Structure 1
Amino acid sequence: MIQALSDALAERGYDTLTPVQEAVTAEGLEASDLLVSAQTGSGKTVGFGLAIAPTILGEGGAFGPAAAPLALVVAPTRELAFQVKRELDWLYAGAGARIASCVGGMDMRDERRTLERGAHVVVGTPGRLRDHIQRGSLDLGDVRAVVLDEADEMLDLGFREDLEFMLDAAPEGRRTLMFSATVPPMIVTLAKRYQRDAVRVTTLSERSQHTDIAYQALRVSQQDAETAIINVLRFHEAQNAIVFANTRAAVNRLTARFANRGFSVVSLSGELSQAERTHALQAMRDGRARVCVATDVAARGIDLPNLELVVHAELPSNAETLLHRSGRTGRAGRKGTSALIVPPKAAKKAERLLKTARVTAEWMAAPGADEILRRDEERLLADPVWDEAPGGDEAAFAARLLAEKSPEQIAAAYLRLYRQSHSAPEDLADPEMRPAPKERAPFGPSVWFALSVGRAERAEPRWLLPLLCRAGDLTPDAIGAIRVQGAETYVQIAEGRAAGFEAALGAGGQLEEGVNARRMEGEPDLGPASRGGPPRRPGGKPPHRGDRPAPQGAAPEGDRPRGKGPGKGRPGRANDAEADRDGATRPYKPRGPKSGGPKHAGPKVGGPKAGGKPGRDGGPKRGPGGPRRPKG
């Protein structure tokens, strides 16, 4: 290795190289094109800096006077470009390198003046680099090496045309190094066109880059999906944490909520200017902010050296994004945590993502309030401040405290002050609990009435119930069971309202034309229930079609008739129906013969209309004396 680079690595504390750094600097690859699969956080920036060094450095391992650039590094985002420049600055400092950046959002005139003064390496984003080439301020005639960092992301962001333009503008004899977390077909096509016998290097099979990241899948109830994030942040109290959301609206909502809870928080989304993004990241780096809420696109390329926690407030769309998000933490030998917030509706998706990413996560409940308070006490007792000897002023004040207050009062007050400086944890609902079903009160003493319509007339509780209330001056609470039978329907009326019901109907007991009611002695003999099903109140929605068992004695499903007409109900649907207030099911209305009456016609009784034509099923059409379907 070149001595200047070796000294720079030793100064930065590099004892050994990472797998990707060793792979790209292997003997025999000094002049080869490389197609490298490496994950975020694997040390690839230093890796390609070491890989192109033999190509761009002069004799003695040092750069000559700066003129036209010798190397071009292309990155998908401004943040990643600045990060690459910072890494190459210290790596090539001993070799006398001059490194320039060209990124969107910065003053193009300043960049032009920098390029005119000369640079050995230029780092930039595709759009801005192309602008400089087209304007003549960036000359690629002397370029010996081109590096495409995060090539798959640049293609995803629509930079293919810009990349091809720059690669066509570079000399044919250059080296081309492509670094990509994945190698989709577009990358393969680009490599075949612009690389010469590229050596394929992959370190994705190495598990060492993932061992420092602990994945957690946190089960939460649907209503606690966002509240649980507050508890996760409080439980870990990470030096730096990033919370990923899928939309700008979610980023803004979470940022406002965290700020209201006392967290020092910044946000990153596409609506921010470059200056606002730079200030937000600087606040995270210097400790003024500890939580960053971001979308995937806005967070591309950001580097937070002390990032300890990644929270997926909303699950990513694919496994690659999951790994890319999580790869922000657990870098350079540090431990990190990647926590997925998983409400019940997202459990299956979370399982698929983890399986596709080949990641094993620990499934657990989100930390509760008691657990967080215990963790606070542990952190408080483990604080190194306890081991420091008190200074002069501190000793005097400590003696004064002990003279005026008891040790228990001092300790309790200190604990209260500690907790007041932190956001209070939230009580979370048990994600496994389901609300207990409400018990129905017994209907009480009642009187049964028989109505003169049944299944033959297509009677249904959903239109009988409002008819009973309207004609009999009742409220729904006064009506119990409604049992539809073949020729009659039995209705249960509260005993205290039965007399008023009869009085409202009059001597004939007529509810409406063709529907009469008569009082019964005792309870009707209904026989065994024809079918079961979930309990429904009259007027409620019928059970789902798939939940309706076939009526007793029905033919096997393959032998049942289909189509319209009497007795030709669809397979699996019951012809018996019953509905009551305290537990019976609702009826199903089979498709009967069409009539000349209104849509969803009610029961048909009475003689045929004089001179009327027979119905489609051979039966008579409703005559003038037949009942009309009640409205409502």
Structure 2
Amino acid sequence: MSETSPLIRPLAEALANRGYDQLTPVQETVTQPEYTAADLLVSSQTGSGKTVGFGLAIAPTILADADRFGPAGAPLGLIVAPTRELALQVRHELGWLYGMTGATLASCVGGMDMRDERRALDRGAHIVVGTPGRLRDHIQRGSLDLSLIRAVVLDEADEMLDLGFREDLEFILGSAPEDRRTLMFSATVPKSIAALAATYQKDAVRVTTAGERSQHADIDYRAMPVATQDVEHAIVNVLRYYEAQNAIIFANTRATVNRLTTRLSNRAFAVVALSGELSQSERSHALQAMRDGRARVCVATDVAARGIDLPNLELVIHAELPSNGETLLHRSGRTGRAGRKGVSALIVPKNARKKAENILRFAKVTAAWVDAPSADAVRARDEERLLADPVWSEDIGERDGAFARRLLDLHGAERIAAAFVRAWQGRHSAPEELAAPGAAEGPRPAFGPSRWFSISLGRADKAEPRWLLPMLCRAGNISREDVGAIRVQETETFVEVLAARAPAMLAAIGPEGRLEGGAVLRALDAPPFGGSAERPKSEPPRKKGPKHAANRDAGDSAWKTPDRKRDRDRPIPAPVAAEHGLLTEAPAPKAPKPAGKKPHRKGGKSATGASTGSPRKDRAPNKPAKPGKAPHRKGGMAPPKRGKN
């Protein structure tokens, strides 16, 4: 840092040791001498370095122009963040920034043991970082004393209001001394933030940095239209094409996070999950695995969309489109931080293109609409990476050289090179073949010799072919064309697989046959319904309409095609059940219809002429209705029903 820098010396040295050659725009602005004692309302986008910025901004206030803190007691600085992850990350950043000042930091976040936090506060802390709800609990219990607070920082203030923390924030700010400094950092400044600032800040200075106007300039937005059934295949190819050092995949639900994590783990990706159902310890371990290189892919819900800063995060994939443009910006803002470049890839199913266009327009970002990387494109990129590998320029040691000459004598150069390529490819997941987004399905080829398998899910588990088929393909590394009939029974499902592909599928799934969600796959010694395991080469044409439901159930392709809807609770039609031996006894015959005419509705007469109820009010007494027409009231509405509400 420059010798003329206005920063306190220990903080300037910490920045220099961290490799900071110059401050970011927001850091430069908030450390101006004229703002040393002022309340600040700062508009700062994610990735702008605001954590270090407000750490520098409050330093003169809480250090009182000294170089070091005295003994720790009641806290002098308070940082409030919306999420546990962000609060812990802020504590980590301030830890190295204030490392040479002798600062003691404490955290108060939900999901952690409150007794441990209370003991840490009792021992004393100069700076406390926490989430609104947990900080309020400590204040009300008397374990957090705010009487000496000199500066309060609200980080991601707009997010805290969106999450419903207004009452907690007002309680915290109302409990702090009135002569404190209050700094609010927010990506946007809506009316709610302006009202909070007007109430709890004194003549706040509004700070808008230049970075806000050039938002996400270092992020390359790419929208990739894909066929609906190829969404997860496209995710695999995007990961393989970019081979990012760190990548985040965002999904909208915990179920999708779990499914994608299992799928990618089965495909040999080093992957962790991050969602609200995990404990704080599990979430911390997942982030630490990303930071130290044990994992390279994180599948997360939007709980990770704000404030998480992972080093060398080069790729963000939106497996499911975000709900709005603001969420898109916060998700994408995990990459392209502090001058580094990044890619934000939106996987857009065929029926969601309009939604994607609207989200991009409201976010005010421009995305290039490109095809998702094909399998050939991934292989070509692999060849480029292999040819550019630094291993080719490394010196050859004496021992390695002797063994290399021995291999050349035994196998020759071409065979050795081919073996090296296969070994190199074996360390990476194979790319997926993608269908064109708008391509129509061609005629289905005849199915060859097959084997039958049983999956331990049935109608009782709400099993459906439309999700059983993708699950089996993902786990067994097979394609949809390798699967024939899928027949869902009450407690299990029978699946037909090409005999030539069955060994590879079993090898990919493993000897225990474990599938997603705890389902188990087992091989059958014979077709489940008797007869040949081969699919008939031709099938009778199917007619549409409810009268031909038996045709829909009898055909194999109706069970396989995931796009066809089928009533799960409808029993198997008797002809089909009988054909496959599913009926143990003949169905009871229907009771014969009673002779004579059907009785009239209430208000008419029975077959014997006796009255069946009170006469309708809209019909004259003793005047029968005209045959073939139902009487109706003036206005075309039926009389109101009587009885209990």
Contact 1:37 1:204 in 2 (8 A): no
Contact 1:4 1:92 in 2 (8 A): yes
Q: 1:80 aligns with which of 86, 94, 110?
A: 86
Range 66-75 or range 295-304, more displaced: 295-304
- Cα 1:613–1:323, aligned 2, differ >3 Å: closer, same or farther? closer
Distance in 2 of aligned mates of 1:143 and 1:615 = 87
- Tell me, yes or no, if structure 1 residue 233 matches structure 2 residue 234: no
Task: Describe the SS at the equivalent of 1:342.
Answer: strand
TM-score (ref. length: structure 1): 0.68
Distance in 2 of aligned mates of 1:295 and 1:87 = 24
- Cα 1:387–1:67, aligned 2, differ >3 Å: closer, same or farther? same
Q: 1:27 aligns with which of 28, 33, 37?
A: 33
Tell me which residue corresponds to 1:211: 217
- Tell me, yes or no, if structure 1 residue 383 matches structure 2 residue 394: no
Task: Describe the SS at the equivalent of 2:33.
Answer: coil
Amino acid at match of 1:102: C
Question: 1:193 offset after TM fit, Å?
Answer: 1.0
Tell me which residue corresponds to 1:311: 317
- Cα 1:389–1:171, aligned 2, differ >3 Å: closer, same or farther? same
Amino acid at match of 1:107: D
- Tell me, yes or no, if structure 1 residue 44 matches structure 2 residue 50: yes
Question: 1:60 offset after TM fit, Å?
Answer: 3.5
In the alignment of these two chains, the number of paired residues is: 455
Amino acid at match of 1:225: V
Question: 1:329 offset after TM fit, Å?
Answer: 0.7
Question: 1:40 offset after TM fit, Å?
Answer: 1.3
Contact 1:268 1:292 in 2 (8 A): yes
Q: 1:66 aligns with which of 63, 68, 72?
A: 72
Q: 2:346 aligns with which of 340, 344, 354?
A: 340
Q: Per-residue CA shift, 1:230-257, capped at 9, x if unaligned? A: 0001111111111000001111111111
Q: 2:99 aligns with which of 85, 90, 93?
A: 93
Task: Describe the SS at the equivalent of 1:340.
Answer: strand
Contact 2:305 2:327 in 1 (8 A): no
- Tell me, yes or no, if structure 1 residue 144 matches structure 2 residue 150: yes
Task: Describe the SS at the equivalent of 2:345.
Answer: strand
- Tell me, yes or no, if structure 1 residue 275 matches structure 2 residue 281: yes
Distance in 1 of aligned mates of 2:188 and 2:215 = 15
Tell me which residue corresponds to 1:551: none
Contact 2:270 2:297 in 1 (8 A): yes
Tell me which residue corresponds to 2:59: 53
Range 225-234 or range 297-306, more displaced: 297-306
Tell me which residue corresponds to 1:9: 15
Distance in 1 of aligned mates of 2:252 and 2:155 = 24
Q: Per-residue CA shift, 1:493-549, capped at 9, x if unaligned? A: xxxxxxxxxxxxxxxxxxxxxxxxxxxxxxxxxxxxxxxxxxxx99779xxxxxxxx
Question: 1:117 offset after TM fit, Å?
Answer: 2.0
Tell me which residue corresponds to 1:155: 161
Contact 1:243 1:293 in 2 (8 A): yes
Question: 1:277 offset after TM fit, Å?
Answer: 0.9
Amino acid at match of 1:235: Y
Unpaired stretches in structure 2, ≥5 consecutive residues = 1-5, 445-541, 547-599, 601-623, 630-645
1:191-202 matches, within 5 Å, as: 191-202=197-208
- Tell me, yes or no, if structure 1 residue 250 matches structure 2 residue 262: no
Tell me which residue corresponds to 1:290: 296
1:476-555 matches, within 5 Å, as: none
Amino acid at match of 1:362: A
1:368-447 matches, within 5 Å, as: 368-435=374-441
Distance in 1 of aligned mates of 2:626 and 2:335 = 81
Task: Describe the SS at the equivalent of 1:262.
Answer: coil
Contact 1:72 1:143 in 2 (8 A): yes
Range 34-43 or range 58-67, more displaced: 58-67
1:559-570 matches, within 5 Å, as: none
Q: Percent identity?
A: 72
Answer with 1 or 2: which has the greater Rg.
1
Tell me which residue corresponds to 1:329: 335
Contact 1:38 1:204 in 2 (8 A): no
Question: 1:202 offset after TM fit, Å?
Answer: 1.9
Contact 2:45 2:212 in 1 (8 A): no
Distance in 2 of aligned mates of 1:285 and 1:90 = 16
Distance in 2 of aligned mates of 1:36 and 1:367 = 40
Amino acid at match of 1:155: L
Contact 2:41 2:206 in 1 (8 A): yes
Amino acid at match of 1:339: A
Question: 1:435 offset after TM fit, Å?
Answer: 4.4
Q: 1:114 aligns with which of 110, 120, 130?
A: 120
Contact 2:47 2:338 in 1 (8 A): yes
- Cα 1:413–1:117, aligned 2, differ >3 Å: closer, same or farther? same
Distance in 1 of aligned mates of 2:626 and 2:344 = 75
Distance in 2 of aligned mates of 1:207 and 1:151 = 19
Contact 2:378 2:431 in 1 (8 A): yes
Question: 1:286 offset after TM fit, Å?
Answer: 1.4
Tell me which residue corresponds to 1:189: 195
Distance in 1 of aligned mates of 2:399 and 2:543 = 79
Contact 1:319 1:353 in 2 (8 A): yes
Amino acid at match of 2:320: E
Question: 1:22 offset after TM fit, Å?
Answer: 1.6
Distance in 2 of aligned mates of 1:361 and 1:50 = 36
Question: 1:93 offset after TM fit, Å?
Answer: 1.6
Amino acid at match of 1:320: E
Task: Describe the SS at the equivalent of 1:310.
Answer: strand
Q: 2:364 aligns with which of 352, 358, 361?
A: 358
Amino acid at match of 1:417: A
Amino acid at match of 1:246: N
Distance in 1 of aligned mates of 2:262 and 2:200 = 47
Amino acid at match of 1:343: P
Amino acid at match of 1:141: S
Question: 1:83 offset after TM fit, Å?
Answer: 0.9
Question: 1:373 offset after TM fit, Å?
Answer: 0.5
Question: 1:301 offset after TM fit, Å?
Answer: 3.1
Tell me which residue corresponds to 1:534: none
Contact 1:268 1:294 in 2 (8 A): yes
Q: Per-residue CA shift, 1:248-300, capped at 9, x if unaligned? A: 11111111111111111111111111111111111111111111111002554
Q: Per-residue CA shift, 1:569-627, capped at 9, x if unaligned? A: xxxxxxxxxxxxxxxxxxxxxxxxxxxxx9xxxxxxxxxxxx996999xxxxxxxxxxx
Distance in 2 of aligned mates of 1:8 and 1:262 = 39
Distance in 2 of aligned mates of 1:65 and 1:178 = 28
Contact 2:251 2:318 in 1 (8 A): yes
Distance in 1 of aligned mates of 2:206 and 2:340 = 29
Distance in 1 of aligned mates of 2:98 and 2:304 = 29
Task: Describe the SS at the equivalent of 1:197.
Answer: coil
Contact 2:108 2:131 in 1 (8 A): yes
- Tell me, yes or no, if structure 1 residue 18 matches structure 2 residue 24: yes
Contact 2:38 2:205 in 1 (8 A): yes
- Cα 1:165–1:155, aligned 2, differ >3 Å: closer, same or farther? same
Distance in 2 of aligned mates of 1:288 and 1:613 = 84
Task: Describe the SS at the equivalent of 1:281.
Answer: helix
Contact 1:42 1:209 in 2 (8 A): no
Unpaired stretches in structure 1, ≥5 consecutive residues = 439-536, 542-597, 599-610, 617-632
Task: Describe the SS at the equivalent of 2:331.
Answer: helix
Question: 1:421 offset after TM fit, Å?
Answer: 1.1
Tell me which residue corresponds to 1:504: none
Superposition RMSD in Å: 2.6
Contact 2:82 2:159 in 1 (8 A): yes
